[in-house]
Structure 1
Amino acid sequence: MELLYNKPSKEWTDALPIGNGRLGAMIFGGVETETFQLNEDTLWSGSKQDWKCPDAKEVLGKIRELVREKQYEKADLLSKKIMGPYTESYMPLGLIKLIFEHGNLYHNYKRSLDLDNGLAIVKYSIGDVVYTREIFASYPDQVICMRLKSSKQGMLTFHAKLDSLLRHRTDFDGSKLIIKGIAPEYSAPNHSNSPNPLVYGEPGETEAIQFEGQLGATLEDGKLIIDNDGLHIINATEVILYFSAATSFNGFNRSPNRQGKNQSEIASGYLKKAIWQSYRALLDNHLYDYKSLFNRVIIDLDTEKRNNQLPTDDRIQRFGAKDKGLIELLFQYGRYLMIASSRPGSQPANLQGIWNKETRPPWSSNYTLNINAPMNYWLTESSSLPECHEPFIQFIHSLAESGKRTAEIYGARGWAVHHCTDIWCQTAPSGGYGEGEAVWAIWPVGCAWMSQHLWEHYSFSQDKKFLLEKAYPIMKAAALFCLDWLIEDEEGNLVTAPSTSPENLFKTDSGFAAISYASTMDMAVIWDLFKNCIESTRILGMDELFAQELEAARSRLYPMKIGKYGQLQEWFLDFEEEDPHHRHSAHMFGVYPGRQITKDTPEFYQAAKTSLNRRGDEGTGWSLAWKIGLWARLGDGNRAYRILSRLLNLVESHEEKMHEGGVYRNLFDAHPPFQIDGNFGVTAAIVELLLQSHEGFIRLLPSLPDAWPNGRIKGIRARGGFVIDLEWKKHQLVYAEIYSEVGGTCLLQSDGPVSLKKEGKTATVTYQEKNNIIRFNTEKGKRYIIKQNAATINENK
């Protein structure tokens, strides 16, 4: 399975991404000049910022009073007084440029990204000489490795240079090229319209992150010269280039200058270890590691293979979602990008994963918590990449530590975080000290949504040790904040205030506003948090009094409402939206990724459909991915497929379709511009079409589109500790295999009452009328085979 092209890339969004979680590169595939654009996941601007707002509690009280008086626009303006600084920005490290001396009259060009092996390959001919480049980013050895070959001896001559847009200098030591640099102390986000330039500190005094990259080479024949002009290869046949890099970042709460890591030692250590090994050993290490993750899931939508040899951008333009092989590619590409951008020990994937070329990246390439960062990680559990979830889970722990101070400023227990954060774990409302707008800056219940990821990791794995030691303490602290943040309204309901529905506005008598009481989003994420905490106490056999407190509070949360159009209300009153087709569907959290709205709540289930119909099928890339998942949860696979068809729409430039999502030539999600959440989100949504388990039981093929009559998928996961293979023909399930990772009871929904025949060692099978559930006990490590119509269940080792 590969992304394939017949010409070099012209734009960054044509280039092909590789990564090992920490190091990333975009490979352009040029002929006479090749470019690798480089990133390291801890290279950010700035340093830890302390939000000091001694008047926050007083201002908070005034905002609440304005909301009580229905002076919503004044509440918006007053909220600027509690805004903290903007987040810092994710920075590009630099470039490797290769200049070849073979000219540019090439033929038989091929550029590809091999997803099965995690390899980028460039191949072309000049005259009768075939030139090949093979590039990968190794997680085990923490280097980017490049093998360059010519088919005839001694025909490979080029020189390599290192460069950066950041303040830097280059050097060499006889065996390697070196680039040393420093990040800016401050980088205002490019969406703030700030006129301020990048700011650099004085050498030796700055608190900003320092970085170093090193480029080494080995060769079989020919000559290697390294000098001030670069790394020169003369008359070689095969050359291996190795790139390592590191920064002085040493944690969100430490100074990268005074308490930082030694970036030179780290980069040197990785490079030295890599060069000591053969290329074959490095490649084998990479393949063993990468395949152990990627090969867990196989998807086959009964595709015709004839399109596989066509350039990927041609397939997007000519066929779109009608090319089922392209859907398979998009699905697995999301998993590939996750493996490449989020591994144990790395930072979590940001708005662009780890790939960024801008010193002023869109939206700072930060962590936007009111949808984008959570969406990044929806796929990890269901598509069998739980290890890749770990960086985000660890990041949530850091946010919880940092967010204690924010909660204290509000006079609350626990921890709080607003809509945006960065590597420094900023938890204050990120709004440029009043430059920002309440509609996106004021959202203090981010802790509730972040906590859902801790619960989901437990729910899929059933790891009670993780729940006890890592998840529940953070979830409980988030619940404590929410308990303190909630206030009573005039009817005795518990509400949030100030409350927004990211990032939509509602109409007032004189304009538009963001802040009111109890947005449906707020109530849904708090309901979800309280439910998860309550279930955790039952599982762990502890904190019964706290569970009772949460039960009482949850029963008093401001209830969901149905508006005048039959829609699920977005706000506590039936306000008119500024934009009924807004890209955010925040009030739909209870459908997906939450579990509050299901067929068991039929009125709100239907109201959610009405709301989605009002939103429409258009939107930015990540918005389309969310809608695919929402319609999957709402049982309409054909509607989800229609939106998937919109997502597989070729976008040529940022300006071409500013409000319409799609994909670029390299299948990157077009917000536009590029945001990786759409790639991750659509992979998760495709799983939701084929398997759901959020209601406490497993649904097989719950929302299968008519366009996929036949197919199979292997290795996807369900909550409860189950790995599932499915096969279907003519839209009917013909085979399923359930592997029990931990043992325990499996609840599986059937289409209706069935006659079950026990075979082998199968435990007792029972049928319960509600929801047509089949219940059977499982043993750890056993596989349970379900034949057509669930008529037979077999148990095999």
Structure 2
Amino acid sequence: MNIQFHKPAIFWTEALPVGNGNLGAMVFGGVERERIALNEDTLWSGYPKDWNNSEAASVLPQVRKLVSEGLYEEADRLCKGMMGPYTQSYLPLGDLQLVMEHGDHYKQYDRKLDLRQGIASVAYTIGDIRYTREIFASHPDRTLVVRLTASKPGQLSFHAKADSLLRYSASTDGEHYVIAGTAPEHVAPNYQQQDHPIRYGDPDTSKALRFHGRLAAVREGGTMSVDRGGIHIAGATSAVLYFSAATSFDPQQGAPSAQRMPGQLTAGVVEAVLKKDYAAVLADHLADHIPWMERVDLHLGDSLAPADMPTDQRIAEFGSRDPGLVELLFHYGRYLMIASSRPGTQPANLQGIWNEHTRAPWSSNYTLNINTQMNYWPAESCNLAEMHAPLFDFIDRLAANGSKTAEINYGAKGWVAHHNADLWAQTAPVGAYGEGDASWAFWPMGGVWLTQHLWEHYAFGRDEAFLRERAYPVMKEAALFCLSWLHEDEDGYLITAPSTSPEHHFRYGDRHSAVSAASTMDLTLIGELFDNCIEASEVLELDETFRAELTAALSKLHPLQIGSHGHLQEWDKDFEDGDVHHRHVSHLVGIYPGRKLTEESAPALFDAARTSLERRGDGGTGWSLGWKIGLWARFKDGDRAERLISNLLNLIKENEPLEYDGGGVYANLFDAHPPFQIDGNFAATAGIAELLLQSHQDHLALLPALPSAWRTGYVKGLRGRGGCEVDLSWENGVLVEAVIVSNNAQNCLLRSQPIREVTSDGETIAWTATDDGFGSIPVEQGKRYVISFR
């Protein structure tokens, strides 16, 4: 459960992440100079604007006409007239800088991140003195905590301050060191060339966010002084630094607020934590963090690496051959979710909450054509359902804004979101009103896909109040948009147009385009949303007329097609791929994470989808490899999935030529697109869980795709749909025992090896065997059932 090194970090992707959902920090572990890179989850450029494009409504019928005539390139170009502005950018807060007064000639250096405890630590020896640091982001106390110690009394002397790449000033507030500043009003995407990509407003009248950071210290022994240069401690034995940050973002309004005073917010937080001693702060942090991590346990075999081997060396030498490293990768995804997404915070963005760039890759925004969704794939199955809450809050904001976009841009009902969003919940297509490419700028299915997360939260937990009050109303409005967006083709089928398969182009003759009609991803997502709405309305016993309308529309959706290569077509026609090995596998969304295409419900399409995945190959960016792990799990090919895990556990080094044409992980196990994107970490965790337990077909499939390399092991605490928590153990590749606890009374349907016995509280429980390999077990709410297999 440790990521560890024997030297300080040089690059940001070697640093160690800590976070409490709101504050993020990257610990470099320098000896004489320590850099702790800081982030606050609401610190973004910009402010709410009118991003809708009223001209899109008049362009839409023209684009549809060109598509119907097969003039795809022309339709592609005309789509530029339907675009809006780029999103704004997630920004770095700054750095907490420590300068130690002991030089940099050291020995016995150790730096590690303890995932179980959520603590990064640094230790080294100078002379005979052992210096240590403990760094964690406390969720209960809403602060970043840094404790420094020296093994001999009076030997700790250092200076601490914070700075920022943004416009800021430093000052003192009593014994606190503070920084305050204003964010830019606009930051252009890193891929857009501009003379002035970062633009600030007048500091007195700017509509942008104000931010504030506050640093305070408590020491044991020695002296302390505070000035505009920082906090200066001399001759101490130990010291604790507390850092808090806030912005003027009002989460209720979704906008900056003049009434929200970030300096007062940080003062309240720091003054509260200073009333506690360090032992209590640490104990409260551990009591909060450890139970989340201990909800799930995984053992895949004995580790091959020596216990003290640095993580980067372990990745390079062993990769997925080391079961312990695969376990570490799995737990790391859970750790990162706990650290970057807590109820009441913003959802994890493209980099979680960790970003050091003022112009981050792809603005570190919310990319809704796969990446934001991927961030939350492990939330339910890996027993972190509460961490899903920030995404649901964000979906509510998108739905409110998206209703205006649907009406203004398309004259449609319901709500819509496109490819990119930001803190301000932008819902219009990006692309700078024509600068962008339709392959990634025009995709009105972002909101449709997001509703899948609302349904999944219900499917796993069976919280009917959540379905009635939160999920179904938003799902219904997204479905209303789809009903408005769909239109009949010449054969009477309902299609989408203009339609893209995100970020991919097709070839027809000697030409390329992205825009056509009825992409497989569009149809699959809409079909699944309609299915979910129908099922929800039945559960809630309402909207019978609407349910019938959806059922009728489902029957008229353009059918998915099998192409000339025996593959599932990505578009409505059998076009050739622009790139047969393209990183996106959008047309396979109905296999995973969806449930529209299964071996039982659509065997021919299921087999064609497998052929499509074979054609894509086993390469790709880091997040693409993560998606393919889950896909191969659904195809019940554990060894192929393990091959993708092996490809993902490929060490990517900063500032060195890539030896592998694809993604992997950095030294600190961050997913490498490259560059860093956190979605691959979450996808890997979810995919590993999917290899061990599946529940998307109204039954629990136990060890459905166990890789042969994981001969003997166990997993505890995974969740299945229907409100079940499941433990599994196996030996020599054979399931030995399962333990199930359900949060509701039901008949639990299992598909596995033949059952030998079921017990609960020492009593034998009657169960029913079916001819097709299922076991039906009646379970009561909260009781523990042990299933033994022969």
Normalising by structure 2, report the TM-score: 0.98
Contact 2:300 2:327 in 1 (8 A): yes
Is 1:363 paired with 2:341? no
Write out aligned runs for 1:249-398 (5 A): 249-251=249-251, 253-258=253-258, 260-304=259-303, 307-398=306-397
Is 1:612 paired with 2:613? yes
Measure, in 2, the Cα distance between the counterparts of 1:548 and 1:624.
39
Measure, in 1, the Cα distance between the counterparts of 2:745 and 2:373.
29
Deviations 1:268-316, CA, capped at 9 Å, x for gaps: 1111111110001101110011012111001111213753321111100
| 1:685 paired residue number | 687
Measure, in 2, the Cα distance between the counterparts of 1:698 and 1:318.
36
Letter in structure 2 aligned against 1:716: L
| 1:457 paired residue number | 457
Shift, 1:768, TM fit? 3.2
| 1:524 paired residue number | 524
Is 1:214 paired with 2:214? yes
Is 1:641 paired with 2:642? yes
Please give the secondary structure, in 2, of the residue aligned with 1:533. Answer: helix
Contact 2:759 2:786 in 1 (8 A): no
Measure, in 1, the Cα distance between the counterparts of 2:525 and 2:703.
27
Shift, 1:255, TM fit? 4.1
Please give the secondary structure, in 1, of the residue aligned with 2:60. Answer: helix
Letter in structure 2 aligned against 1:731: G
Q: Which moved more, 1:596-605 or 1:165-174?
A: 596-605
Contact 2:33 2:98 in 1 (8 A): yes
Q: Which moved more, 1:696-705 or 1:736-745?
A: 736-745
Measure, in 1, the Cα distance between the counterparts of 2:312 and 2:727.
31
Letter in structure 2 aligned against 1:109: Y
| 2:747 paired residue number | 745
Shift, 1:452, TM fit? 0.2
Shift, 1:191, TM fit? 1.6
Please give the secondary structure, in 2, of the residue aligned with 1:178. Answer: strand
Measure, in 2, the Cα distance between the counterparts of 1:27 and 1:527.
45
Shift, 1:161, TM fit? 1.7
Measure, in 1, the Cα distance between the counterparts of 2:467 and 2:763.
32
Measure, in 2, the Cα distance between the counterparts of 1:256 and 1:569.
45
Measure, in 1, the Cα distance between the counterparts of 2:228 and 2:705.
61
Contact 2:303 2:325 in 1 (8 A): no
| 1:722 paired residue number | 724
Structure 2 residue ranges without an equivalent (≥5): none
| 1:232 paired residue number | 232
Write out aligned runs for 1:644-793 (5 A): 644-653=645-654, 656-657=657-658, 659-751=661-753, 764-769=766-771, 771-789=772-790
Measure, in 1, the Cα distance between the counterparts of 2:307 and 2:195.
48
Measure, in 2, the Cα distance between the counterparts of 1:435 and 1:121.
46
Measure, in 1, the Cα distance between the counterparts of 2:111 and 2:325.
17
Please give the secondary structure, in 1, of the residue aligned with 2:249. Answer: coil
Please give the secondary structure, in 2, of the residue aligned with 1:276. Answer: coil
Is 1:96 paired with 2:106? no
Normalising by structure 1, report the TM-score: 0.97
| 1:538 paired residue number | 538
Structure 1 residue ranges without an equivalent (≥5): 790-797
CA gap of 1:756–1:711, structure 2 versus 1, over 3 A, is closer
Measure, in 2, the Cα distance between the counterparts of 1:52 and 1:467.
30
Letter in structure 1 aligned against 2:417: V
Please give the secondary structure, in 1, of the residue aligned with 2:99. Answer: strand
Measure, in 1, the Cα distance between the counterparts of 2:187 and 2:630.
35
CA gap of 1:761–1:414, structure 2 versus 1, over 3 A, is farther
Letter in structure 2 aligned against 1:313: D
Q: Which moved more, 1:51-60 or 1:112-121?
A: 51-60
Contact 2:224 2:233 in 1 (8 A): yes
Q: Which moved more, 1:458-467 or 1:755-764?
A: 755-764
Measure, in 2, the Cα distance between the counterparts of 1:706 and 1:85.
49
CA gap of 1:764–1:484, structure 2 versus 1, over 3 A, is farther
Contact 2:758 2:786 in 1 (8 A): no
Letter in structure 2 aligned against 1:645: S
| 1:442 paired residue number | 442
Deviations 1:398-435, CA, capped at 9 Å, x for gaps: 11111000111211111000010001000000111111
| 2:71 paired residue number | 71
Measure, in 2, the Cα distance between the counterparts of 1:768 and 1:419.
45
Contact 1:563 1:569 in 2 (8 A): yes
Shift, 1:654, TM fit? 6.3
| 1:621 paired residue number | 622
Letter in structure 1 aligned against 2:279: R
Shift, 1:64, TM fit? 0.3
Letter in structure 1 aligned against 2:562: I
Deviations 1:429-465, CA, capped at 9 Å, x for gaps: 0111111110011111212100000000000000000
CA gap of 1:411–1:395, structure 2 versus 1, over 3 A, is same
Measure, in 1, the Cα distance between the counterparts of 2:493 and 2:312.
53
Contact 1:654 1:672 in 2 (8 A): no
Contact 1:308 1:325 in 2 (8 A): no
Please give the secondary structure, in 2, of the residue aligned with 1:49. Answer: coil
Please give the secondary structure, in 2, of the residue aligned with 1:61. Answer: helix
Q: Which moved more, 1:196-205 or 1:149-158?
A: 196-205
Deviations 1:67-120, CA, capped at 9 Å, x for gaps: 011110111111111100000000000111100110111000000000110000
Measure, in 1, the Cα distance between the counterparts of 2:76 and 2:744.
50
Please give the secondary structure, in 2, of the residue aligned with 1:434. Answer: coil
Measure, in 2, the Cα distance between the counterparts of 1:680 and 1:52.
32
Shift, 1:776, TM fit? 2.1
Measure, in 2, the Cα distance between the counterparts of 1:758 and 1:671.
47
Please give the secondary structure, in 1, of the residue aligned with 2:717. Answer: strand
| 2:580 paired residue number | 580
Deviations 1:639-671, CA, capped at 9 Å, x for gaps: 000111010000002663385111000000000
Letter in structure 1 aligned against 2:91: M
Letter in structure 2 aligned against 1:662: G
CA gap of 1:66–1:548, structure 2 versus 1, over 3 A, is same
CA gap of 1:327–1:243, structure 2 versus 1, over 3 A, is same
Measure, in 2, the Cα distance between the counterparts of 1:303 and 1:421.
43
CA gap of 1:529–1:757, structure 2 versus 1, over 3 A, is closer
Contact 1:252 1:423 in 2 (8 A): no
Contact 1:335 1:383 in 2 (8 A): yes
Q: Which moved more, 1:537-546 or 1:46-55?
A: 46-55
RMSD of aligned alpha carbons: 1.4
Measure, in 2, the Cα distance between the counterparts of 1:502 and 1:197.
26
Contact 1:765 1:774 in 2 (8 A): yes
Please give the secondary structure, in 2, of the residue aligned with 1:536. Answer: helix
Contact 1:48 1:253 in 2 (8 A): no
Letter in structure 2 aligned against 1:696: D
Please give the secondary structure, in 2, of the residue aligned with 1:308. Answer: coil
Q: Which moved more, 1:55-64 or 1:340-349?
A: 55-64
| 1:793 paired residue number | none
| 1:408 paired residue number | 407
Contact 1:737 1:783 in 2 (8 A): yes
Measure, in 2, the Cα distance between the counterparts of 1:295 and 1:766.
33
Measure, in 1, the Cα distance between the counterparts of 2:156 and 2:756.
69
Measure, in 1, the Cα distance between the counterparts of 2:354 and 2:91.
9
Measure, in 1, the Cα distance between the counterparts of 2:652 and 2:769.
50
Q: Which moved more, 1:505-514 or 1:168-177?
A: 505-514
Shift, 1:355, TM fit? 0.2
Measure, in 1, the Cα distance between the counterparts of 2:156 and 2:758.
67
Measure, in 1, the Cα distance between the counterparts of 2:540 and 2:621.
42
